[in-house]
């Protein structure tokens, strides 16, 4: 497979909130690039399915980490999410490219 010939798309997960192991609510902005393989059937809801996969993976990782661990280990978060999504995306006929943490911080408390 020559990945340079694929039509790459970008998926942005903006404002995703999860709770860490130390009970802090973090807001996470991720981006993920992906491409459909030419031999696969078209998937009309593909971006929504990939979004759900990436959100699930990031929730799992965040829940097992403290806030400080997340700040120190953004690369590990990216690797986990990319690996998890890549595995599931194969069955959809999709190859996953880059994953990036765009922003990671504490979520602001909702105003009364």
Q: Does residue 9 contact residue 33 with C-beta atoms inside 8 Å?
A: yes
56-107 confidence digits (pLDDT tens)? 999 999 999 999 999 999 999 999 999 999 999 988 889 999 999 999 999 8
d(CA 29, CA 17): 9
Instruction: Report the pLDDT averaged over residues 39-54.
Output: 82
Identify the DSSP state of 3.
G
Report yes or no on 73 lying in a domain: yes
Report yes or no on 56 lying in a domain: yes
pLDDT bracket for residue 16 (50, 70, 90): confident
Report yes or no on 112 lying in a domain: no
What's the whole-number average pLDDT of the chain? 88
Partners of 44 in the β-ladder? none
Count of the separate structural domains present in the chain: 1
Report yes or no on 15 lying in a domain: yes
Range of 74's domain? Answer: 7-106
Report yes or no on 2 lying in a domain: no
CATH number of domain containing 51:
3.30.479.30
Report yes or no on 30 lying in a domain: yes
d(CA 99, CA 112): 35
pLDDT bracket for residue 110 (50, 70, 90): very low
d(CA 22, CA 68): 9
């Amino acid at each position: 497979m020559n990945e340079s010939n694929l039509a790459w798309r970008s998926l942005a997960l903006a404002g995703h909130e999860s709770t860490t192991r130390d009970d802090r609510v973090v807001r996470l902005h991720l981006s993920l690039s992906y491409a459909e393989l030419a031999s696969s059937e078209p998937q009309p809801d593909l971006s929504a399915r990939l979004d759900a996969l990436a959100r699930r993976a990031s929730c799992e990782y965040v829940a097992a980490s403290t806030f400080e661990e997340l700040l120190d280990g953004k690369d590990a978060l990216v690797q986990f999410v990319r690996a998890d999504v890549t595995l599931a995306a194969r069955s959809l006929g999709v190859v996953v490219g880059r994953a990036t943490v765009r922003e990671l911080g504490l979520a602001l408390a909702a105003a009364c």
